[in-house]
Amino acid sequence: MRPIRPLRPARILIASALAVTALAGCQSSSGKAAASVDAADAKPAVISVTPGPDGRATAPDSTVAVTVEHGTLTDVEVTSGTSGAAPLTGTWTKGKKGWRSDRTLTPGATYTLRATATNAAGKSTTERSTVRVREATLFNGVNVTPAGNKVVGAGQPVSIAFDHPVKNKAAVERRLSVSTTPRTEGSWGWVRDPLTGVERVDWRPKTYWAKGTRVTLRAKLSGVDTGDSRYLRRDVTSTFSIGTVRVSKVDLKKHTMTVYEDGRRIRTIPISGGSPSYPTWNGTMVVLDKAPMVNMTNTSVGIADPYDKDVPWAVHLTTSGTYAHAAPWNEGKGYFGNSNQSHGCVGMSEKDGKWFYDRAVRGDLVEVTGSTRQTVPTGNGYGDWNPSYEDWKQLSALD
């Protein structure tokens, strides 16, 4: 999907194309007096605004339209004194005989519209109108990742998670745009976390991000009905950039994890993956976060074999509980580099775990091969990279 360039608010001042000669005695080259404007063409411009001034509030996903008779629109300006109201933008119709809003309205907001038109004689007419937007009783919320102008790894998708499932996926997706420098091909895809049920729409590139890429999300979501009149409250923007391209390749048959940075091999670490009873996921995972110490129990991941451990240098890979971490309790047992004995995580010595933890950032990639388990689902963490790009594009709500 190509990035969509957002429209700017329509506030355009156009000088009259007609000039009226006022000097007495001026004549054309033929000696005849200059033709005057026809009386029919000199009718005052009449501006109409929809919704009209009937006092009723309009739905947030309604359209605001301006039309003119006996003239041409020269300016449409929309402002709002409501705190947090999204700016209302629009586009001209052919010949500037009309203007129509091109986005949804903020629930509960009041907009003031001022439209100006000019008739054939150059006389201006101005119409002012107030548009009140209906309050919403049900709302949906969003959580955008990454946010805060972060530097992230080459696997981090643009991700918007919703508080409630979205029925009108196409309506939401139409309001989203991603721009990148340099230009990068990518697509939105809708996924759901199989454990939490959280629904997301993620934008991932065709291939891993290039180092130094600058990414900006613009989501004009205020007033979008996500289904059953459950509206979004606000627009969202986010900018981030791509740092070191760090890819860690875990080979569970060789019991190693080889770390590459910007295509160069940095280190090969002996590891111990999931045992035959609790195998590690296959496939590509993305670093979600990390913590110097995480308490892990069998009940938190729903397995029978009891354990309760404080785990150091834990790098989080899936919402189902997969980590790459130090496992000092296994040191001296001959597991690392030789056999898979964990409950599904990628374990290593405390020294190697600390080294990996210090380098890992959100968005780094971990590619796991050689497991007897299936490939990690798209919604379990950022499993977005496991489908082919052609299959990923099929997860978009738009054709």
The two domains 138-244 and 246-385 share their CATH topology (first three levels equal): no
Query: In the numeric block, which tokens belong to residue 320?
Result: 């189902």
pLDDT, residue 40, reads 57
Q: Class of 138-244 per CATH?
A: mainly beta
Mean pLDDT of the chain: 90
Q: From 118, 73, 127, select the one nearest 98 (Cα to Cα).
A: 73
pLDDT exceeds cutoff 90 at 10: no
d(CA 384, CA 72): 50
pLDDT exceeds cutoff 60 at 1: no
pLDDT, tens digit, 9 for 90 and up, residues 216-256 = 999 999 999 999 999 999 999 999 999 999 999 999 999 99
Give the mean pLDDT of 318-337.
96
Residues with Cβ < 8 Å from 270, sequence gap 6 or more?
255, 256, 336, 337, 338, 348, 349, 352
Between the alpha carbon of residue 351 and those of residues 57, 251, 259, 295, 327, the distances in Å are 64, 20, 15, 19, 10
Give the mean pLDDT of 93-122.
96
Better pLDDT: 231 or 301: 231
Between the alpha carbon of residue 257 and those of residues 64, 214, 345, the distances in Å are 58, 29, 12
pLDDT, residue 316, reads 98
Residue keyed to tokens 């990148």: 180
d(CA 31, CA 40): 26
pLDDT, tens digit, 9 for 90 and up, residues 246-257 = 999 999 999 999
Classify the phi-psi angles of 122: left when phi > 0, otherwise alpha if psi is within -120 to 50, otherwise beta: left
d(CA 98, CA 80): 21
Between the alpha carbon of residue 338 and those of residues 269, 366, 367, the distances in Å are 12, 20, 19
d(CA 360, CA 370): 23
Look up the CATH number of domain 46-132: 2.60.40.3780
CA angle 98, 103, 109 (to 5 degrees): 100
**How many CB atoms sit inside 10 A of residue 365's CB?**
23
Query: In the numeric block, which tokens belong to residue 13?
Result: 């001042």
Letter for the amino acid at 28? S
pLDDT, residue 54, reads 74
pLDDT, residue 217, reads 98
Domain ranges of the chain: 46-132, 138-244, 246-385
Give the mean pLDDT of 171-196.
97
Q: From 197, 244, 214, select the one nearest 380 (Cα to Cα).
A: 197
Look up the CATH number of domain 246-385: 2.40.440.10
pLDDT exceeds cutoff 70 at 11: no
